[in-house]
Amino acid sequence: MFSILIFMLTGIALGYRFRHVVLFHKTEKTISITILFLLFFFGLNIGSNQSLIHNFSSFGLQALLLAVAGLAGSLIMSWITYRLFFRKEDRHEK
C-alpha cells in the first residue's frame, strides 16, 4: 500500500521537474491504456474464478445498491454545502 503512494509522489516530483518536456504531457493516453490493461487482467481473474461467476447476479445487485447509496449521499451533502456556503454568491452575481 505504502509503495503505491511512493509511486504517485515520485510521479508528481518527476512531472513537476520535467513539466516543460512535451512527452510528459502525453500521460492521458498512456493512463487510459494502462487502465485497460489492468481491467483486462482483472476480467481474466474474474472469468477464471468459478464461484465468483456463479454468484455474479447477486454481486451486481449489491453493487447497484452501494452505488446508488454513495451517489445519493454525495448529492445530498453537496446540496447542503451549496445552500449553506455557495448559493448567496451565485445570487449576487446574477
Partner 1 sequence: MKSSIFVLVVLGLGVILGLSFPVPDFLLDKSLSTYILYALMLQVGISLGCSDSLKKLVRNFDFRLLLIPLSTIIGTLIFSAAASLLLSKWTVADCMAVGSGFAYYSLSSLLITQLKEASVGVQIASELGTIALLTNIFRELMSLVGAPWFRKYFGSLAPVSAAGVNSMDVVLPTITRFSGKEMIPVAILHGILLDMSVPFFVTLFCQM
Q: Which of residues 55-94 bind partner 1 (CB under 8 A)?
A: 55, 59-60, 62-83, 85-87, 90
What are phi and psi for residue 46, nearest 5 degrees? Answer: -65, -45
Name residues whose C-beta falls within 8 Å of residue 29's C-beta, 6 or more positions apart in sequence: none
- Least separation in angstroms between CB 62 and partner 1: 5
The minimum distance between CB 91 and partner 1, in angstroms, equals 12
Q: Which three cell numbers stand for residue 86?
A: 455557495
CB of 92 to partner 1, least distance (A): 14
Stretch 6-45: interaction string toward partner 1, x if CB under 8 A: -xxxxxxxxxxxxx-x--xx-xx-xxx-xxxxxxxxxxxx
Burial tier of 24 (Cβ tally within 10 Å: 0-12, 13-18, 19+):
middle
